[in-house]
Amino acid sequence: MTFKALVVDKDEDGTRASVKDLTLADLPEAEVTVAVEYSTVNYKDGLCIGPGGGLVRKYPHVPGIDFSGTVETSDDPRYAPGDKVVLTGWRVGEAHWGGYSQKARVKADWLVPLPQGLTTRQAMAVGTAGFTAMLAVQALEDHGIKSGPVLVTGAAGGVGSVAVALLSAMGKQVAAVTGRPDQADYLTSLGATQIVAREELAETVKRPLEAETWGGCVDAVGGAMLARLLGQMEYGASVAAVGLAGGANLPATVIPFLLRGVNLLGIDSVMQPYDNRVRAWARLAEVLPMDKLEAMVVPATLGDLPGLGADILKGQVRGRVVVDVAAG
């Protein structure tokens, strides 16, 4: 029996991705075999579909850093045939074959049960990006969101879109930062109450402290923008750092931390412990408005992935791509 998968091959001319037929014998060894129903497209997926970005070490390779589906076979008592499951992180789709395949075989420790109230499609509309957004919002809550608006940078991207919708659903005023003015209506529809042009925050300033403006921040940009907004946070407010689209360097001073008690919270979704994963997924099912989630969705199939992988590396993908893997 064969099934479809997006396979990336590499030779002296570079990498190329195409949909191929595989068999169960091709899959890596692990405890649980899943019939994959849906996956999604993240920045890491774009790298793994295309140039590799140092993430993929062995070819041929099946990318896809997250997926949802139904357990077919399991050697682990925690999962039985018919169970609905979700996988994000654990370097699946990078070091281990991932979700761009109608069958996947993975370690039981990497799975979580599909949260009650979500379908497998909705779970991948959330995906790694939405899961990361929820981890960031929970970290802000745990440290106390202050009175001002919550800033979301890179707001039209996958993490940013879900963060805007979550914070709005929680009753927060949300200021959405974007470099694409044409996305203002989209961000407003997700619940943003203020649109901030990227240019307003893109440059560093000599003053380490500016007016206390933001009650919290989910930052997907990093770099000079993160350095700038640290000096604009309210006393005791926190920034949850989830990305580095603007660069890995942080040209900042320690003044905001020392004089305003600002917290910089690092958010990792890849190696997150099981209990935190279950907590975040349960909260997503409870809080995230499903109509706003659906408004973010761009549908796709396995055959669309090479083009989408290139697009996301150029910053040309808005919202959440949901790949119907089962459809081929």
Helix (H) or strand (E) run with residue 104 in it: strand 103-106
pTM of the entire predicted model: 0.92
DSSP secondary structure, 213-254, as one string: -BSEEEES--HHHHHHHHTTBPTT-EEEE---TT-S-----S
Q: Which residue has the tokens 């350095």?
A: 227
Q: Are 266 and 243 in contact (CB under 8 A)?
A: no
Tell me the average pLDDT across 38-62: 93
| Residue 206: per-residue pLDDT | 81
| Residue 151: per-residue pLDDT | 98
- DSSP conformational letter for 107: -
140 Cα distance to chain centroid: 17
Q: Is the pLDDT of residue 234 over 80?
A: yes
DSSP secondary structure, 255-273, as one string: HHHHHS--EEEE---SS--
How does the average pLDDT of the chain come out, rounded? 95
Cis peptide before 60 (omega within 30 of 0): yes
Query: What does DSSP say about strands 32-40 and 194-197: parallel, antiparallel, or unpaired?
Result: unpaired
Tell me the average pLDDT across 166-193: 96
| Residue 132: per-residue pLDDT | 97
pLDDT in tens, 255-308: 999 999 999 999 999 999 999 999 999 999 999 999 999 988 999 999 999 999
Q: Is the pLDDT of residue 19 over 80?
A: yes
pLDDT in tens, 89-127: 999 999 999 999 999 999 999 999 999 999 999 999 999
